[in-house]
Amino acid sequence: MQLEQILKNRRQEKEILLMTHIVLGYPSFEVNRQVIRQMVENGVDCIEMQIPFSEPMADGPVILKANQESIAAGTTIADCLEFGAEMADTYDIPFLFMTYYNIIFKYGEEKFLQQTQDAGLKGLIIPDLPPEMGEDFFRLAEEYRIAPILIFAPTSTDERMAELNHWAKGFIYCVARRGVTGRKSEFGDDFGTYLARCRKATDLPLAVGFGIQDRADVQALKGKTDMAVIGSRTIRLVEEEGPEAVGGFIAGLR
């Protein structure tokens, strides 16, 4: 089943879906396993697994540090593909890869998409690949049934949103504010207007990320979006309290 339909089916059962983010190989693949198990057992609907890159431009200091330490520990693309296949085979939720285009370009676009499909993953988030530079890649992604997740931002014009929607599959990732990941977001009138523009621009499910940190943030998004994305907060939690703290945190978000 395609990612969009999986999420729409799950959305019928919940007021809002949850997507979480991990950096593969940080602090280790074994800790990744422990964290993902707790996330799934406590109701996460979709997990975004980041293949580490040396210059993750959309990411704040927490995820940047995680990328750098994973690379320093020797994490490879092959490791990530193997781990992704293991997770997709173990749990009945959709898994995505998130990374930057240079990783895929050097590995080989078609080879990467083929192996991502073989691993059972449902989508890709590549923040630095706009449609104008990736038309062939997006066509290949459709051929291999891997949903390219595109990103709306508060600075996106209505015309830009329409263009992105033309290429997007699965869902639209709506950035809650300008800047990078990790800093807490506020949900005032301007945010409501922005989300209304996002909803008007697409029939795909909407996910909101960047700065979603606690239950209050998730509650504020109910009725406004389909999915909340929690990233840096869980990585910090693992660093500060250990992987065993993740389950209770996730369970308390909705």
| Residue 158 falls in the annotated catalytic set | no
Distance CA 234, CA 185 (A): 16
Burial class (CB in 10 A: 0-12, 13-18, 19+), 110: middle
Instruction: List CB contacts of 231: < 8 A, sequence separation 6 or more.
Output: 20, 21, 48, 63, 181, 182, 209, 212
Q: Are 119 and 78 in contact (CB under 8 A)?
A: no
**Strands 227-230 and 17-23, how do they pair?**
parallel
| Residue 59 falls in the annotated catalytic set | yes
Q: Per DSSP, what are the bridge partners of residue 18?
A: 228
Query: Annotated catalytic residue: which of 59, 89, 118, 142?
Result: 59
Query: Annotated catalytic residue: which of 4, 45, 48, 226?
Result: 48
Instruction: List CB contacts of 214: < 8 A, sequence separation 6 or more.
Output: 233, 253
Tokens 């239950």 -> residue? 215
- 40 closest CA partner among 82, 10, 4: 10
- Positions annotated as catalytic residues are 48, 59
